[in-house]
Chains A and B, each alone.
Chain A
Amino acid sequence: MSWEQFLLMRHELLLILAAVVVLVAEIATGEDKNGINHTAIWLMASITVVGFLPAPVGKLFGGMYVVDSLRLAMKNTLNIGLLIVFLQSARWLNSKENQGRVSEFYLLLLASVIGVNYLISSGNFLMFYLSLELTTIPVAALAAYEQYKSRSAEAGIKLILSSAFSSGILLFGLSIIYGVTGSLDFSLAVFAGAGSLGIVGFIFFFSGLAFKISIVPFHLWTADVYEGAPTNISAYLSVVSKGAAVFILILTFFSFFRELQDVWQGVIFATAIITMTVGNLFAIRQKNLKRFLAFSSIAQAGFIFLGVIGGSELGMAATVYFVLIYVFSNLAAFGVVNIVAVNSGKESMEDYNGLYRTNPRLSLVMMLALFSLAGIPPVAGFFGKFFLFTAAAEGGFYALLIIAVLNAIISLYYYLLVVKAMFINKSENPISGFTSDFYTRLSLVICVLGMIGIGFIGEIYDYLQSISFGL
C-alpha cells in the first residue's frame, strides 16, 4: 500500500492524531485542565476545515474501506456535528464535578467519532460491524460520565446492555446473510436467490441498525438514555451516531440489498409510520425537555425513512440533505437545553415559562431550532422535509405521505408548546438571565447560520444530488 493510498483515510488519521494529542496533553498538564478544552476544540475545528479540502477517492484493503464524494460529504457533515458538540461541552466540563476528567470526555468522543468515520467508509459487513461497535461502546461510557448522578449511571448501563442485545441480533443476522450469500462485500448484489432465510438475516440486520436510529419498536432505550446521559452525549447520540447509521442503512439498501427491494420497502413503510406516530404521541406528553427531544428525534427518524423508501437518487440526496439540516437544528435545540441546564440546573418545560423575558436571544435560537425541526418555512428544516416528501411522492407512496403530513401537524403542536412556554406563558420565578460562554455562543451562531443558510443556498442540494445514486 502506497503512501497516497494510506492518505485516503485522511479523516480517520487526523482524528486519531487528535486523540493522541489530547492524551499527551492530559499527561503534560497539571491541575488545571482547561487548556485541554481549547486544544480539543481548535484541533477539531481544524480537522473539520481540512475535511472540506478536495480529496482523492478510492478503495483500500480489498474494498473493506471505501471513500467517495458522498461519503466525504457525510463525514464532513458529522464532523461539524462533533465540533458543535465539543463547543457546547466546554463550559459544562469546567464545572467542579467534571474538572479532573476533561480529557476522558474528549478521548472517548473522538474514539466514537473515529468509529463513525470508519462506519461511513465501510465497504464490507465486517468493517461495518467493527466500526459500529467502536461508535457505540465509548458513548456508553460517556453516558455514565456523571457518575455522581444515579440517572447517568443508569443511562450508561441501559445503553450498553441494550446495545449488546441489539448487536447480538445484528451479528446473528449478518452470519445468516453470509451463510446464504457467501459474501459480505457491499458492492456485490448477490441476494437474488437468497430465499426466506436471507429475509430473516436481513430483518435481523435491520433491527440492529434500527436500534441505533431509534426506530420503533427498537427505540425504547432512547428516552431513558437521553434523559439520564449528559445533555451533550444525548445530542451526540441523536445527531452524529444516528446520522451515520441512517447513512449506512441507505447505502446498504441501495447496494447490497437492492434485490430485496420489495422486502425492505415493506419494512420501511411499516416502521416509518409507527415510528413517526409513536414518537409524536410520546413527545406530546413529555415534560422534561431532554425526553421531549428524545421522542422528537425518534419521530424525525420516521420522517427520514420517507427519503429511503423510494430508492431513488432524489431520495438519497434528500436524506443526506435532511441529516445535514438536522445536525444544525437538533444541536441548536440541545445546545440551548444544555446551557440552560448548566446555568440553572433546570430542564423541564415549565421552567422555560417566560424565558423570552430573561434570555431573549437564547429563546429566539430555540424558537428557530424548533421551527426548523417542525419544518416551518423559511427555516432550513422546511426544505429538508419538503425534499423528503417529494422523494416519497415521486415513488408513489401517497398513503405514507398523508400519514407523514398528519404527523407533521401533530409535531407542530408539541414544538409550539415549547415556543409558547418561552414567549407567552408567564412565570413567577423564571430562569434568571445569564451570559453564555464564548464557545456555546459560537456553536449557536454556527447552528443559526446553518438553519437559515442551508435552505437558501441551492448549490448545497444540487451538489448532494449530483453525488447521490439510486437503485
Chain B
Amino acid sequence: MPGLEHTILIPLIPFFAFLVIGLLNKTLSPKVAGMIGITGILASTILAYQVALGYFFSFGQVDGVFQKIIAYKTSWLQFTDSLVIEMGAILDPISAMMLVVITTVSSLVFIYSWGYMKGESGFSRFYAFLSLFSFSMLGLVLATNLFQMYMFWELVGVSSYLLIGFYYDKAAAVAASKKAFIVTRFADLGFLIGILLLSFHTGTFDFQLLTDPNGPAITSVGGATFMGLSVVSLSLLLIFIGGAGKSAMFPLHIWLPDAMEGPTPVSALIHAATMVVAGVYLVARLFPVFAFAAPEALEVVAYIGAFTALFAAVVACTQPDIKRVLAYSTMSQIGYMMLALGVSGFGEDGLGYTASMFHLFTHAFFKALLFLGAGSIIHAVHTNDIFKMGGLRKFMPITHITFLIACLAIAGIPPFAGFFSKDEILAAALVSNKLIFGVGFAVAGLTAFYMFRLYFMVFWNEAKIEGAPHESPSVMTIPLIILAIGSLVAGFVPFNELVTSNGSLLATELHWEVAAPSVAIGLIGIVVAMVMYRKASNLPSKLSSSLGGIYKAAYSKFYIDEVYMFVTKKVIFNLISRPIAWFDRNIIDAFMDMTAKMTNLVSEGIKEMQSGQLHYYAIYFASGAILFVVLMLWMR
C-alpha cells in the first residue's frame, strides 16, 4: 500500500545492524558494535510505533472494521505463473500489536544487556545475534504468507540456537542449544508438512486468501478427508505441532528449561516475551481457518494448552533454579494463551481470541520484567539457586519493587496487567468448557503460589549470601522500571476495541463472577507462599516429605526428559538407527569403495598401453582404424 512501504524497514534495520556488526566484528570495538545494535533497534522501534499507532488510530479501520493491509510486497521466487513465493509485510491488529511488543522488549533488552554483558568477550557477537533475532522475529510477524513465515520461523530458531549456545565453551550451554534446535526442528517438520498439505489443497500460501471466511481455503476443501479428519484439520494439526514446538507445549516443551543456559537477557527477550509466543501467534494468524474449517483442531489446541498450563505450573512449584521456575512459568502462561485460543469462537464469540492476544501482550511485559529482574539478581549474587539467596530486598531495592510488581501482575492481582487478561481468559473458558475453566482456575492459584515462593525465598527469608550484594547499574534498572510501568498500565489497553478475531469491536465487561474467585485463589496462593517461605522454617520440607512421590515426580519434571532419552537411546537408536548405519557403512559405502577400487584397478591394468614407444603407438593407431572399419562394415 502506498505510503506504508517503509514498514519493511522495521525488520531490515536490525538486519543491517547484524550485517555491519557481524562483518566488521574484528575491526569494530565492542562499544561501537553495541551502539550500532542499540541504535538500530531504537530506530525500528520508533518506526514500529509510528506504523502501529497509525494503524490502530488512523488508517487501519474502514467502517469500524480493522483491515488486513499489505504494506509492502515483492515476488521473491517465481516458479511458475501460479506458484510464486512472495515476501512482504502485512499489517493487521495482531501484527501491529506484535510489532509494539517485540520492538519494546527488544530495545529494553538491548539496553539492559549493555550493563549485563559488560566485559564479556563476545560482546559484539552478542549484539550481532540479538539484531539477527530481532530481524527474524519482526519478519515473522510481518509475514504475508505461510512460506515467508516458515523461513523467518527457521531464522528465529537459528538465532535462538546461537544465543542459547552463546557461552559455547560451556558444555551445558552447547547441549542446551542443540536440544532446543533439534526439538524445535523436529516440530517444524510437522509445520512444513502442514504447510504443504494446506497450500496444496487451497492453492495458496497467502494469509489474506487463506483466512478470508468466504475464501476458497475455508469453503472449498471441506470434502477431502484422511483417517476421519478433514484435510484442513489434519494440516492445521500438523502446523500446530510446529507452533507447539516453538511455544514449548507439552510434550515438546523439554528444550525450554534447558534454554535458560543462555545469557539472561536472551531468556527475557526470546524465551519469555517474543519467540516462544510465535506458536500462539501462528494459531492466531490462521485462526479463521481453525474456527471455520477445523474445530477439532482447535479443540486439540485448547486441551494441549490447558494441560501444559497445569503441568508446568506444578513443576514450577518445586524447582530450585530461579530461571527454570520462570521458564516453567512461561510455559504455563503460554498454555493459558493457547487454551484461550482453543475455546474461542469467531466474531461475536471471539472473547477467547482477544483474551489470548491480550494475555500475550501483558505477559510480554511482566515476564520480561521477571527475567530481567532475575538477571539483575544473578548479576549480583552469581548463583541461580534460590535456596542460596534470601533477604535481598535490603540490598536491591529497585529490583525488589519491580520484581514484586511483576509477581503481582502474573498472579492476577488487580489493578496489575495480568489481572485483566487472565480474567478474560477464564471468562471465555467458563462459557465454552467447564473442565478447561477448572484447570485454568487451579493454575491461577498455583501461579500465585510459585511466584511468591520465588519472591519470598529471594527477597525475604534469611540472608545466605556472604557480604553485601549491590544494586545493578542504572542501565539495567531503568529497563526494569520501564517494564514495571508497562506491567501496571498494559491492562488498561482497550483490547476489545483493537484486537478482535474479525476486526470489529467486541463488547466486553469485567466479569466479577470470574474475577472475584480468581483473585481470591491468587491471594490464597500468595498467603500460603508467605507462610511457608517468608521466614526460614521447616514447613516446606515437611510438606514435601508428606507429599512424597508426587513431590519427587514434580521435582524431576515428571521424568519427561528421561522418557525422551529412553525412546531415543534405547528404542530409536538401537532398533532403527543402528541397522541403518550398518547398512550405510557396509552396503552403500562398500559399494562406492568397490567402484573406486575397480576404477583404480582398471587404470593400473591399462597403463602399459602408454609405453612411450612410437611404433606401438602406430600399431594401436592402425589397428584402431581397422577395427572400426570392420565393426562398421559388419554392422551394416
* In the complex with contacts A162-B614, A203-B628, A281-B603 CB distance below 8 A: yes
* Contacting pair B600 A284 (CB below 8 A): yes
Partner of A282, one of B607, B620, B625, B632: B607
B62 adjacent to chain A (CB < 8 Å): no
Per-position binary interface string of chain B over residues 597-634, scored 1 when its CB falls under 8 Å from any chain A CB and 0 otherwise: 00110111011011010101110111111001101110
Which of A131-139, A215-223, A306-314, A436-444 faces chain B?
A215-223
* Contacting pair B610 A282 (CB below 8 A): yes
Contacting residues of chain A (250-284) with chain B, CB-CB under 8 angstroms: 263, 266-267, 270, 278, 281-282, 284
Q: Name the residue on A nearest B601 (C-beta).
A: A281
What total of chain B residues lie within 8 Å of the partner, measured CB to CB? Answer: 27
Q: Kindly state the separation between the CA atoms of A218 and B636 in the bound complex, as whole angstroms.
A: 24
Partner of B621, one of A220, A224, A267, A284: A220
Per-position binary interface string of chain B over residues 59-77, scored 1 when its CB falls under 8 Å from any chain A CB and 0 otherwise: 0000000000000000000
Q: Kindly state the separation between the CA atoms of A211 and B624 in the bound complex, as whole angstroms.
A: 11
Partner of A285, one of B603, B616, B618, B624: B603
Q: Kindly state the separation between the CA atoms of A6 and B599 in the bound complex, as whole angstroms.
A: 55
Task: Tell me what chain A mostly uses at the interface: helix, strand, loop, or mixed.
Answer: helix
For A281, what are the chain B residues with a Cβ–Cβ distance below 8 Å? Answer: 599, 602-603, 606
Per-position binary interface string of chain B over residues 144-168, scored 1 when its CB falls under 8 Å from any chain A CB and 0 otherwise: 0000000000000000000000000
A32, chain B: closest CB distance, angstroms: 39
B504, chain A: closest CB distance, angstroms: 53
Per-position binary interface string of chain A over residues 346-378, scored 1 when its CB falls under 8 Å from any chain B CB and 0 otherwise: 000000000000000000000000000000000
Q: Which has the most chain B C-beta neighbours within 10 Å: A166, A203, A207, A223?
A: A203
B635 adjacent to chain A (CB < 8 Å): yes
* In the complex with contacts A221-B617, A284-B599, A410-B599, A278-B606 CB distance below 8 A: yes
Q: Kindly state the separation between the CA atoms of A169 and B617 in the bound complex, as whole angstroms.
A: 14
Partner of A162, one of B610, B618, B636: B618
For B609, what are the chain A residues with a Cβ–Cβ distance below 8 Å? Answer: 220, 278
For B635, what are the chain A residues with a Cβ–Cβ distance below 8 Å? Answer: 266
A199 adjacent to chain B (CB < 8 Å): yes
Contacting residues of chain A (365-421) with chain B, CB-CB under 8 angstroms: 410
Q: Kindly state the separation between the CA atoms of A224 and B625 in the bound complex, as whole angstroms.
A: 21
A2 adjacent to chain B (CB < 8 Å): no
Partner of A217, one of B607, B612, B620: B620
* Contacting pair A161 B614 (CB below 8 A): yes
For B633, what are the chain A residues with a Cβ–Cβ distance below 8 Å? Answer: 196, 199-200
A158 adjacent to chain B (CB < 8 Å): yes
* Contacting pair A207 B599 (CB below 8 A): no
Per-position binary interface string of chain A over residues 329-352, scored 1 when its CB falls under 8 Å from any chain B CB and 0 otherwise: 000000000000000000000000
Task: Tell me what chain B mostly uses at the interface: helix, strand, loop, or mixed.
Answer: helix
Q: Name the residue on B nearest A284 (C-beta).
A: B603
Q: Kindly state the separation between the CA atoms of A278 and B600 in the bound complex, as whole angstroms.
A: 12
Contacting residues of chain B (567-601) with chain A, CB-CB under 8 angstroms: 599-600
For A204, what are the chain B residues with a Cβ–Cβ distance below 8 Å? Answer: 625, 629
B456, chain A: closest CB distance, angstroms: 61
* Contacting pair B621 A207 (CB below 8 A): yes
* Contacting pair B621 A162 (CB below 8 A): yes
* In the complex with contacts A282-B607, A284-B599, A284-B600, A217-B624 CB distance below 8 A: yes
Contacting residues of chain A (158-207) with chain B, CB-CB under 8 angstroms: 158, 161-162, 165-166, 169, 196, 199-200, 203-204, 206-207
* Contacting pair A165 B618 (CB below 8 A): yes
* Contacting pair A169 B625 (CB below 8 A): yes
For B610, what are the chain A residues with a Cβ–Cβ distance below 8 Å? Answer: 220, 223-224, 282
Q: Kindly state the separation between the CA atoms of A410 and B592 in the bound complex, as whole angstroms.
A: 12
For B625, what are the chain A residues with a Cβ–Cβ distance below 8 Å? Answer: 169, 203-204, 207, 218
For B628, what are the chain A residues with a Cβ–Cβ distance below 8 Å? Answer: 203, 206-207, 267, 270
Q: Kindly state the separation between the CA atoms of A165 and B616 in the bound complex, as whole angstroms.
A: 12
* In the complex with contacts A204-B625, A410-B599, A220-B616 CB distance below 8 A: yes
Q: Kindly state the separation between the CA atoms of A207 and B631 in the bound complex, as whole angstroms.
A: 14
Q: Name the residue on B nearest A211 (C-beta).
A: B621
* In the complex with contacts A218-B621, A284-B600, A266-B632 CB distance below 8 A: yes
For B600, what are the chain A residues with a Cβ–Cβ distance below 8 Å? Answer: 284
Partner of A199, one of B604, B612, B629: B629
Q: Name the residue on A nearest B602 (C-beta).
A: A281
* Contacting pair A285 B612 (CB below 8 A): no
Q: Kindly state the separation between the CA atoms of A224 and B612 in the bound complex, as whole angstroms.
A: 7
A143, chain B: closest CB distance, angstroms: 14
* Contacting pair B614 A203 (CB below 8 A): no
Sampled A-B contacts (13; CB under 8 Å)? A162-B621, A165-B621, A169-B622, A200-B633, A207-B625, A207-B628, A221-B614, A224-B610, A270-B631, A278-B609, A281-B602, A284-B603, A410-B599
Given contacts A199-B636, A211-B621, A220-B617, 8 further A-B contacts (CB under 8 A): A158-B614, A162-B621, A199-B629, A220-B610, A220-B621, A221-B614, A266-B631, A285-B607
